Amino acid sequence: DVKVTQSSRYLVKRTGEKVFLECVQDMDHENMFWYRQDPGLGLRLIYFSYDVKMKEKGDIPEGYSVSREKKERFSLILESASTNQTSMYLCASSSSTREQFFGPGTRLTVL
């Protein structure tokens, strides 16, 4: 079974703080993704990565950055958190163009 884990289920941060969300997968998948999910807007792709040290912008990269130093780990960074970044953040991994497997999500609240 594919396992994708995320560092926190719930997180509360203050405006302006730097926030790190970590994601680890154990299936040696080359592809990893970060999405945010908001009511009425569905899943929106923030960033993705095909390989170690590679990253590509998704549909809504503004205000975010990512890091992939090891194949199994993909981090999402909010350089200066803002209230409009309050959301559910979902990490996923996949092999090639096949189905994606999601982590449990991090519900982030920025006050």
Partner 1 sequence: RKEVEQDPGPFNVPEGATVAFNCTYSNSASQSFFWYRQDCRKEPKLLMSVYSSGNEDGRFTAQLNRASQYISLLIRDSKLSDSATYLCAVNFMDTGRRALTFGSGTRLQVQP
Residues engaged in binding partner 1 (CB under 8 A)? 31, 33, 40-43, 45, 48, 50, 56, 58, 90, 94, 96-105, 107
Smallest distance from partner 1 to CB 53, Å: 17
Q: How far apart are CA 11 and CA 94, in angstroms?
A: 26
- Residue 71 or 102 with smaller CB distance to partner 1: 102
- Residue 61 or 80 with smaller CB distance to partner 1: 61
- Residue 14 or 27 with smaller CB distance to partner 1: 27
- Residue 5 or 15 with smaller CB distance to partner 1: 5
Smallest distance from partner 1 to CB 59, Å: 9
Are 20 and 75 in contact, with CB atoms under 8 Å apart? yes
Q: Which two tokens stand for residue 49?
A: 């990565």
> What DSSP string runs through 26-89?
SS--SEEEEEEEETTTEEEEEEEESSTT--EE-S--TTEEEEEEETTEEEEEESS--GGG-EEE
Q: Which two tokens stand for residue 67?
A: 């890091």
Smallest distance from partner 1 to CB 16, Å: 27
